[in-house]
Amino acid sequence: MRAAAERAGRDPAGITLMVVTKSIDVARIRDVVAAGAVDLGENRVQEATDKQAQLAGASLRWHLIGHLQTNKARRAATGFASVQSIDSERIGFALADRRPAEDVPLPVLIEVDFTRGLARTGASAEQATSIAAAVLSRPSLELRGLMTVAPMGSEPQARAAFVQLRRLRDDLEQHLSVRLGTIILGGRQANR
């Protein structure tokens, strides 16, 4: 990671490694935590809740990276360091309404789907502006950026999705007069 950051002219200290632990048993997670992992990504609220209970006492930051249903919004609003999969105004409002007022704003990312695949979650690029405006209207949320999962295929297809995401981010920044520093592509993250 350090070498890749240096090749890209980036400060390695500005990069956060998030270990995705979905479907991984707690014994293996303990191993990666012992090796220094602090940020853990989970796909499902209930699976994360169970693992959080078993790993209580460890200084960890849990991130929800999977699709969120409104009936899980209360747990997501209080049990995660960030939610990286907002795909509708409704989900944003549900999180905001369930975030305790005394807590710091919850960092969120809007998930955008460029594949238009039936099995994919995520908002369309056209919906991203209204979702971003809705999130920005709620003081209990902090819009950090955008994420997408690259379409299955070649590296050029992944790069094209990244370019689309970056352009969308830049358009949103200009249209909404906000800075969105984080963009994530299928596990590859870029911060300004």
pLDDT at 31: 96
End-to-end CA distance of the chain: 17
Between CA 109 and CA 86 the distance in angstroms is 6
Complete edge-to-edge strand list for the sheet that includes strand 182-185 = 18-20, 39-42, 61-64, 82-86, 106-111, 141-148, 182-185, 188-191
pLDDT digits (tens, 9 = 90+) for 14-23: 888 889 999 9
Cα dist. 83→8, 39, 45, 71 in Å? 27, 13, 10, 15
Q: Indicate if the pLDDT at residue 186 is higher than 70.
A: no
Could you tell me which residue, 181 or 81, shows the higher pLDDT? 81
pLDDT at 75: 96
pLDDT digits (tens, 9 = 90+) for 117-136: 656 789 999 999 999 999 99
> Which residues face 123 on adjacent strands?
112
> Which residues face 143 on adjacent strands?
108
Report which secondary-structure segment, H or E, holds 168.
helix 155-176
pLDDT at 149: 83
pLDDT at 188: 47
Structural domains of the chain ordered from first start? 2-147 (3.20.20.10)
pLDDT at 118: 58
pLDDT at 173: 95
- The model's confidence at residue 47, banded by pLDDT at 50, 70 and 90, is very high
Structure tokens at 46: 């209930």
pLDDT at 4: 83
pTM above 0.85, yes or no: yes
